[in-house]
Amino acid sequence: MTKWSVFDKKLRGYPALMGSVLRRLTIIFPVCLLTVASPIHAAGQPKIVAGPYLQHVTKTSITIMWETDTPSTSIIKFGKARVIPKPKKGEPIPTAPLDQQVASAEINTIHEFVIENLDTQTDYFYQVYSRRSNDQEIASAILPFQTAVHDESAFAYVVMGDNRTYPKRFKQIADRAMAERPNFVLNVGDVVSNGHKKEQWIAEYLAPAAELMKRVPTYVSIGNHERNAPWYYRYSSYPSPENYYSFDYGNAHFTIIDSNADLSPGSKQREWLEKDLASSNAKWKFVAHHHPPFSSDSNDYGDTRYSSSRKGDDHVQMMPPLYEKYGVDIVWCGHIHDYERTWPLRDGKVDQANGVIYIQAGGGGAELEEFAPTRSWFTAKVLRNWQYCLVTIHDGTFRMMAYDMDGRLYDFLELKK
């Protein structure tokens, strides 16, 4: 992906010529003297109403987004973290060196940039600016980001999902996630109650998780509550087509699927998925989609007050053989608002040597659901509480710690290969 392939998406509906002109207006150049900009909002200044927040990160690039209340230009100043001599008593504390800049003269409210040509596994600082005129400029705080790690490096990611509707609970979980200092976050979907309601994207998702998302890239597998609304695509920046995509991080491959869309044999997404899984030689393979193939929920798949449950979602019933075929290690899901980890499963039974593990991590804040009254054949662990998962990986060691929203460890999984 080039820097502008993502940006062009925001120009949908604009003449192609305009996109071409705007591309030429954008430059990357070192900044010798930083302009002084106040983070305090004054009359006439644009106001930052969402973000900045981090999206897709690679070894050499990162995507940064933010939203302003009025159309304005987009500028990011950034620089590599470096050792600076400690100031002597009475000397001013030096600011982070923001000695490079990307800028666009395009006037927009949702701003999106891919910064490229970065060093791998390296700490940077950044600050975003939006300007209406020389005296009408707003700046964010100076914030950190880190590029993706080398293949041989250890790394960590947090999994959460179904945070919609209850931003207070989601904030508590997002703050706990930030305290773990993950390299990135995977959200298994239903980030808002109704994806067509623009205000919910800030109130239910971007604002409660702001402290996390400023510093840590977040990936989402789209849920049914996002409703495939245009706002999902406007507020997100993932590899095309964005409702499904894949990326590599360290020695792992991540395949993100849209389980609301067609996954039947011959469908576009299914063909892409098969090729994606077949082409990766990563040590670890993870898949994420919103709907769970295996779940002990009490009433979504048959009402267990008076009947049995189908114990899995119809959207993805056909998927496990594919994951078994291509050696997927873990499938992350949500949709049901609690936690469930399966044993390794293959051919419809527990297979500890060659099975795929399914982890439903839907306790991100939405109202909890009940489990069926009896245990499912595939269940390794259930928890009815709000929760998140932390994964740490180095080489052939995978560890997963699952915590409730108060930080109590309730599940642990270690895999070796």
Q: Which is nearer to Fe ion, 63 or 163 (CB)?
A: 163
Complex with Fe ion: residue 127 or 309, whichever CB lies closer: 309
- For residue 315, state whether it binds Fe ion (rule: CB under 5 A): no
The distance of closest approach from Cβ of residue 162 to Fe ion in the complex, given in angstroms and rounded to an integer, is: 6
Stretch that binds Fe ion, among 132-140, 194-202, 322-330, 334-342 (CB under 5 A): 334-342
Structure tokens at 103: 């800028």
Nearer to Fe ion, 109 or 298 (CB): 298
Whose tokens are 């109590």? That residue is 408
Based on the shown chain and the rule CB under 5 A, indicate whether residue 164 belongs to the binding site for Fe ion. no
Query: Of how many residues is the chain composed?
Result: 417
Q: Least Å distance between CB 201 and Fe ion?
A: 16
Choose between 145 and 201: whose C-beta lies nearer to Fe ion. 201
Give the range of 47-55, 197-205, 331-339, 378-386 binding Fe ion by CB under 5 A. Answer: 331-339
What tokens were used for 30? 């070192």
Among 153, 224, 298, 392, binds Fe ion (CB under 5 A): 224
Query: β-strands 136-139, 345-346: how paired?
Result: unpaired
Contact residues for 103 (Cβ-Cβ < 8 A; gap 6+): 26, 27, 73, 74, 75, 76
Which CB, 57 or 359, lies closer to Fe ion? 359
In the range 63-92, which residues lie near Fe ion by CB under 5 A?
Answer: none
Q: What CA–CA distance (Å, rounded) separates 390 from 371?
A: 23
* Least Å from the CB of residue 336 to Fe ion: 8
Task: Please identify, among the stretches 44-52, 142-150, 180-188, 329-337, the one whose residues bind Fe ion according to the rule CB under 5 A.
Answer: 329-337
Closer to Fe ion by Cβ: residue 190 or 411: 190
Is the preceding omega at residue 46 within 30 degrees of 0, hence cis?
no
- Residue 223 engages Fe ion in binding (rule: CB under 5 A): yes
Question: Which window, 71-79, 219-227, 308-316, 384-392, contacts Fe ion (CB under 5 A)?
Answer: 219-227
46 vs 334, beta carbon nearer Fe ion = 334
Using the contact rule CB under 5 A, the part of the chain among 165-173, 222-230, 276-284, 380-388 near Fe ion is 222-230
> What is d(CA 98, CA 107) in angstroms, rounded to the nearest whole number?
23
Rank residues 108 and 236 by Cβ distance to Fe ion and give the closer one. 236
Under 8 Å CB-to-CB from 141, ≥6 apart: which residues?
Answer: 39, 127
* Nearest approach, Cβ of residue 331 and Fe ion (Å): 16
Shortest Å, Cβ 335 to Fe ion: 4
The stretch among 163-171, 184-192, 241-249, 317-325 that binds Fe ion (CB under 5 A) is 184-192
Counting residues that bind Fe ion (by CB under 5 A) gives 4
Contact between 190 and Fe ion per CB under 5 A: yes
* Cβ-proximal residue to Fe ion, closest one: 335
Q: Using the rule CB under 5 A, is 335 a contact of Fe ion?
A: yes
Contact residues toward Fe ion (CB under 5 A) are 190, 223-224, 335
